[in-house]
Structure 1
Amino acid sequence: MPSVTVRNVPDEVHRAIRVRAARHGLSIEAEMRDILETAVKPQGRIKLGSLLSEIGRKVKLTEEEFAIFENVRDKTPARAARFE
């Protein structure tokens, strides 16, 4: 996983992050990861699985119909690509 170094953080900002981390019971590093993740992820983002589930509910997919999809899905692990 990549690492990021942030230099020249003002003392006031560092103190605020330290206090916020303590309130959340996290390390400063974990708190900063949480802040960054929250800042860059869209608020209303819908994940693919959630979207597909919603579509299934709209078309009133039954448990039997859902089972058909589960049984035909290829569950074989993917193989690495070969470039020969």
Structure 2
Amino acid sequence: MSDETYRALKARAAAHGRSVEAEVRQILDAAVAEQTDLGIGGRMVQIAAAVGGFDLGVERDGTASRPVGLG
């Protein structure tokens, strides 16, 4: 690893209140997690978590649905 990269990593770790080793682990964990296909719901959760969450204001309809006739 170049000295420049190490200095940047050390600064990033300090900004996050972690050791360099912990910062490297976090970076690697995040890189691997991004490769996992979460689907649209999982991606929405990640986006919401990144901005502190959000409320869609959607209420479920409690009306019972009618059975589907198959015959």
Give the TM-score normalised by the residue count of structure 1: 0.41
Give the TM-score normalised by the residue count of structure 2: 0.48
